[in-house]
Structure 1
């Protein structure tokens, strides 16, 4: 579905991506793991057009193709955003709008979907994640886990080719993490194509088809979860996994 080639990005004198290459196949879940500041979120934001790399290419199988060595036309950036939908660490719901109004905002105003169709789609998706009874609630009336599930529904309502998740559980209390991870697991089982930045390594080991370990702006190691988590090849990968995952293993 997507080929990423040579993504390079600097903020002032700080280079945060050093020529990152990877691909995402249709129906695949790719997990990006690694320490904070290693470039994972910058990659994710680049895929959605929220960040503009200094160099590199993004090539979607069904278009568009973006070469960041030249200025990116607004129309191309819009095409890029139409291919994907992003779920952030903080759900970023409109506080003055109901759950249903939050979900239909993108389809109606960005994609020009008729309101009745957008509402029917939103109601079906809310029912799917167990929130149909919250359609008329405002965000402040929801738990953090419920708000994040609304954020996921808002992304699904755009019917994107690619779902992007930036640490979707990091802002949640520990008891609410499971309900969000369950939704992500169900989406993976249904064949949604996803790129997920996460520190939930046990979840990545269960759900991902490929894991990319980032360190200092490069992909230091990549592989299937059963290989990377069980037999990491780099000392840096092993230390990271031991620090986060091993204490929770039986």
Structure 2
């Protein structure tokens, strides 16, 4: 089983995060922290800024201002230089996390095993044999130990997403980021992916998850942040935010998701 813990605690620190795309202000001052070994779930309507928060944590989006820290790597984006030094800082932050996207984004011409070892071997320059051994362990963990030599087209959508999770974990990240990992799946395949994520939570991985699967969020979240129009409207445990929301906007959202009729 892959070990998620290190000698030092893993924490995520986000302060005053703001970003605009053209004239549209997408995030308006986001603040939160995540403790080592906890799962933070971001809920909210489409366009609320959830995915932008996630992509900022991974430095796939560069905020206009704000501070993001993961362990001992911290960036104040207001002071980030627009040059090679700034790109190097962003790359250091990106290396702290592994990201699982809505779509699987697997290389179609490479086997499952080759997809998983690509990052460790090419980006991290780890020995190929070490990367292969780790990849096989991860495939066993996500229930695909017998599919190492398969190609993505030979897998179901749920299996491809599980390979995507193994690929993210192969980078040995401090934090795992999930951007609506089941949104592209047929309903009957959702459970197998959520089961893998639930298992990761039980192992103590630090995770930030964007999802509309409310019952799953109740089960896995140590902290829930409800976003709307680029701000955090409500925060707390799953029992507080999902079970007994204080804000009318949160209640309306949950009612619409849980009772769409």
Shorter-chain TM-score above 0.5:
yes
Partners of 2:94 and 2:249 in 1: CA distance? 34
> What is the match of residue 173 of structure 1?
186
Residue number among 77, 90, 97 corresponding to 1:68 in the alignment: 77
> What is the match of residue 8 of structure 2?
none
Contact kept, 8 Å, 1:166 with 1:198, in 2: the verdict is yes
> What is the match of residue 121 of structure 1?
134
Cα deviation for residue 74 of structure 1 reads 2.1
1:89 equivalenced with 2:98 (yes/no):
no
Provide the TM-score with structure 1 as the length reference: 0.97
Partners of 1:19 and 1:189 in 2: CA distance? 31
Partners of 1:247 and 1:71 in 2: CA distance? 44
> What is the match of residue 37 of structure 1?
47
Partner of 1:134, secondary structure, is coil
> What is the match of residue 151 of structure 2?
138
**Runs of at least 4 residues of structure 1 off by over 3 A?**
none
Partners of 2:104 and 2:24 in 1: CA distance? 28
Partners of 1:212 and 1:225 in 2: CA distance? 9
Runs of 5+ consecutive residues of structure 1 not aligned to the other structure: none
Partners of 1:207 and 1:47 in 2: CA distance? 20
Runs of 5+ consecutive residues of structure 2 not aligned to the other structure: 1-10
Provide the TM-score with structure 2 as the length reference: 0.93
Partners of 2:22 and 2:46 in 1: CA distance? 19
| Residues 162-198 of structure 1, C-alpha deviations (whole Å, 9 max, x = no match) | 0000000000000000000000000000000000000
Partners of 2:231 and 2:198 in 1: CA distance? 27
C-alpha RMSD of the superposition:
1.1
Partners of 1:203 and 1:92 in 2: CA distance? 24
